[in-house]
Amino acid sequence: MIIGAIENGIVLDHITAGRCMEIYDVLHLGELDCTVAIIKNADSKKMGKKDILKIYDVIDLDLDVLGYIDPGITVNIIQQGRVQERRHLVLPERVENVIRCKNPRCITTVEQELPQVFRLANRARGVYRCIYCEAQAESK
């Protein structure tokens, strides 16, 4: 299989095997007019198996959403055929409108225009809590 090199675009590398379609959907990559290559279960010395997304255009990405979904992702920005910037993602301290609070007594249930904001409560376990009611977010 041959996947062409990118002249200008973004490569999302080191995605946990099987998670690339979730990222594809969350980032609405199907709505883009550019080429998007999905590589699933590629061999990886570091991870065993991994997924890769190649976006053949430079677009704005919400790195907090990516970090929440899969904190091990590497984001490579490609310009003129070379990696211009490489970012290694981690769990973000705060995510907004990514997780919905499941607590029926939370203010966000009544005041639906309020943003759904969660803060990282335990980095080691990846636990997020609602800033309004302290309810723990369900695991991803």
Query: Quick one: pLDDT at residue 44?
Result: 87
Split at pLDDT 50, 70, 90, the class of 31 is: very high
The matching CATH number, chosen from 3.40.1360.10, 3.30.70.140, 3.40.640.10, 3.40.50.2300, for 9-88 is: 3.30.70.140
When the pLDDT of each residue in the chain is averaged and rounded to a whole number, the result is: 91
Answer yes or no: is pLDDT of 25 > 80: yes
Question: Which residues of the chain are in CATH 3.30.70.140 domains?
Answer: 9-88
Reduce the DSSP state of residue 107 to 3 states and report it.
helix
Query: Quick one: pLDDT at residue 112?
Result: 86
Answer yes or no: is pLDDT of 139 > 90: no
Residue-wise pLDDT tens digits, 38-97? 999 999 888 899 999 999 998 998 899 999 999 999 999 999 989 999 999 999 999 999
Nearest to 37 by CA among 71, 16, 58, 11: 11
Indicate if the alpha-carbon torsion angle 88, 53, 34, 2 is positive or negative.
positive
Strand partners, 44: 48
| Helix ranges restricted to H, 46-138 | 63-69, 107-110
Residue-wise pLDDT tens digits, 59-75? 998 899 999 999 999 99
Answer yes or no: is pLDDT of 2 > 60: no
